[in-house]
């Protein structure tokens, strides 16, 4: 842990010029920080799996022609490829994991009640969970940055109006807001795309608040005044000077927020308002396995562990980044 370093730093004022010049120093600190390094390992591992599933899917599509997503179909033989179904009575349904007495290495984590290989589904589940987590956080980050920067830079009634709106959105618990949004906007048939937008909107307030408070301090800097005096347009000042200089603390928060997003999307899919079957998604898999909780215990175990490891990676990295960038970001 970089506790020793953070102490030394905490004497200097956070959010001043060092942040801008310190990108290389930051990278060095991240490399030295055990927490951040482990977080990075886990994230790389999960991203590598995601990349593999994407490439694998695309390669297969190239090879096998017009199959919508061959690799995914591999994991979902019954829904998309009825012809792949083993003859009745011979389906490998409910095979236990390999370490179980009745298990085999053909299905390391066993199969689900539809005979789909669980390991493949867990691996492909990374694709949905990670991409949804990243996309939704990015959406919230962009939205929040715009709202926060505009509110903080202009101040006055613009600030009041935007911040009241942000407070309103913030007052509705994210999960509730996202469910209401996805269900109503999709007209009663929710899916992942609506979930991403919903999560993005629900996270605008947190990012808007951080950006705004950063902008408020950056706004008073001499170089902003200089730019204004030189006749640079407001829009360009915000885009070129204000936002880049307010970004460091937001990046830390965004990293931690990816974990929260994945957590929420898992809950969303678990309730049936996120990814829909047969898409392999960890939350969706937990929902499906919920009805088999008593007979097939392992079905409920693996997706949860996958979610936990992924989120832990982002949290570890976020913690390390926090120590490296700014020790006092919490308050």
Partner 1 sequence: MGLLRYTTYRFLQAIPVLIGISILTFVLANLTPGDPVRLMLQGVEADQEMIEQVEARYGLDRPMHERYLDYMAGLVQGDMGHSFHRNQDVASLIASRIGPTLLLVLSAYAFALVTSIPLGIIAAKRRNEPFDHVSRIVALLGVSTPSFWIGIMLILIFAVQLGWLPSADLVYPWWSPEVYGHDGYLEHFVETIRHLVLPMIALGTLQMATLMRVERTQMIESLQGEYVKLARAYGVPERTILRKHAFQVAQLPIITIVGLNLSTALGGAVLIEFVFNINGLGRLFYEAIIQLDYQLIMGITMIIATMFVIGVIITDIAYAYIDPRVTYGEAE
Please identify which residue in 13, 20, 167, 234 interacts with partner 1, judged by CB under 8 A: 167
Q: Which is nearer to partner 1, 104 or 291 (CB)?
A: 291
331 binds partner 1 (CB under 8 A): yes
**How many residues does this entry show for the chain?**
331
Best CA proximity match to 313, nearest among 48, 25, 19: 48
User: Is 296 strand, coil or helix?
Assistant: coil
What single string gives the DSSP state of each residue in 99-154? TSTT--TTSTT-B-TT--BHHHHHHHHHHHHHHHHHHHHHHHHHHHHHHHHHHHHH
216 binds partner 1 (CB under 8 A): no
The site that binds partner 1 (CB under 8 A) totals a number of residues, namely 50
Stretch 109-138 residues interacting with partner 1 (CB under 8 A): none
CA atoms within 13 A on the CB side of 49: 21
86 binds partner 1 (CB under 8 A): no
The Cα–Cα gap between 26 and 43 comes to: 18
266 binds partner 1 (CB under 8 A): yes
Closest distance to partner 1 from the beta carbon of 260 (Å) = 9
Q: What is the 3-state secondary structure (H, E, C) of 238-274?
A: HHHHHHHHCHHHHHHHHHHHHHHHHHHHHHHHHHCCC
Convert residues 278-317 into a mask of x (bound to partner 1 by CB under 8 A) and - (unbound): -----x--x---x--xx--x--xx-xx--xx--xx--xx-
Closest distance to partner 1 from the beta carbon of 70 (Å) = 30
Place of tokens 């880049």: 244
Please identify which residue in 118, 124, 181, 203 interacts with partner 1, judged by CB under 8 A: 181
Name the residues that contact partner 1, by CB under 8 A.
1, 3, 164-165, 167-177, 179-181, 183-185, 187-188, 259, 263-264, 266-267, 270-271, 273, 283, 286, 290, 293-294, 297, 300-301, 303-304, 307-308, 311-312, 315-316, 319, 330-331
């Amino acid at each position: 842990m970089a506790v020793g370093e953070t102490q030394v730093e905490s004497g200097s004022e956070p959010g001043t010029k060092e942040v801008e010049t310190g990108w290389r120093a930051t990278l060095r600190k991240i490399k030295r920080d055990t927490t951040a390094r482990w977080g990075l390992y886990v994230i790389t591992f999960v991203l590598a799996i995601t990349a593999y599933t994407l490439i694998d899917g695309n390669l297969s599509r190239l090879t096998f022609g017009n199959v919508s997503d061959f690799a995914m179909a591999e994991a979902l033989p019954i829904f998309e490829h009825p012809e792949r179904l083993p003859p009745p009575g011979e389906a490998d349904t409910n095979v236990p994991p390999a370490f179980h007495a009745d298990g085999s290495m053909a299905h390391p984590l066993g199969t689900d009640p539809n005979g789909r290989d669980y390991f493949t589904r867990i691996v492909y589940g990374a694709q949905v969970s990670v991409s949804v987590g990243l996309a939704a956080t990015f959406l919230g980050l962009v939205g929040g940055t715009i709202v926060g920067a505009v509110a903080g830079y202009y101040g006055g009634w613009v600030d009041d109006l935007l911040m009241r709106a942000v407070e309103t959105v913030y007052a509705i618990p994210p999960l509730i807001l996202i469910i209401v949004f996805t269900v109503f906007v999709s007209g009663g048939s929710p899916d992942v795309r609506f979930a991403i937008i919903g999560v993005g909107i629900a996270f605008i307030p947190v990012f808007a608040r951080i950006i705004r408070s950063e902008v408020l301090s950056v706004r008073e800097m001499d170089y902003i005044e200089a730019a204004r005096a030189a006749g640079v347009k407001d829009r360009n000042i915000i885009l070129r000077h204000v936002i880049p200089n307010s970004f460091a603390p937001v990046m830390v928060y965004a990293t931690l927020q990816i974990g929260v997003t994945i957590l929420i999307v898992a809950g969303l899919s678990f309730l049936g308002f996120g990814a829909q079957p047969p898409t392999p998604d960890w939350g969706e898999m937990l929902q499906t396995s919920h009805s088999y909780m008593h007979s097939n215990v392992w079905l409920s175990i693996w997706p949860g562990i996958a979610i936990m490891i992924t989120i832990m990676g982002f949290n570890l990295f976020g913690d390390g980044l926090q120590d490296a960038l700014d020790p006092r970001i919490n308050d």
